[in-house]
Amino acid sequence: MIEDWLVVTGGVVIVVVVVSFTVLTLRSSERRMHESTYKLKAYTDLLNAITEINLAGTDTYKLDIAKKSLALTVNRLNLIASSGVLKSVNDLLDFFNESKGREFDALRLHNILNTLVIEARRDLNPHHARRIEEAQVRYRFFAPLKK
């Protein structure tokens, strides 16, 4: 009788432990998925803001809107981005500040954007990013010539 009670109690304890572990694992996965979704949106917003700056050309109104979008996105990235993405964003902002009044270096911008995308991919999905890096893919971006 006591042995049956111990078996039942042990079974209940095991079930509670397994269910608790499963719930914690699922919650952790759900949190990581939510973080990745939010990061993907922020990284996409960053690339869109950069594209808008390139497309604005000499239109000061469009350029001001694009700069505001970039500033708001960078502020969000400061809270959530990986160190690699933040370093690439810093390089990008330095590039924008240095290229004022000087000749536009499209190759340097392209290299900065490539590094930025690589770092974002590493942050979002390291396993897939590693496979893409091994394939030595270079990303292409639309950047009209600045005059």
Q: Which two tokens stand for residue 93?
A: 């902002």
Q: For residues 142 and 32, which has the higher predicted lDDT (pLDDT)?
A: 32
- Distance separating alpha carbons of residues 45 and 8, to the nearest angstrom: 55
Which residues, including other chains, have CB under 8 Å from residue 109's CB and lie 6 or more apart? 95, 141, 143
Q: What is the overall mean pLDDT for the chain?
A: 87
- The closest of 40, 55, 39, 66 to 141, measured between CA atoms, is 55
Mind listing the pLDDT tens digit for each residue in 21-77?
Answer: 888 888 888 888 888 899 999 999 999 999 898 888 888 999 999 999 999 999 999
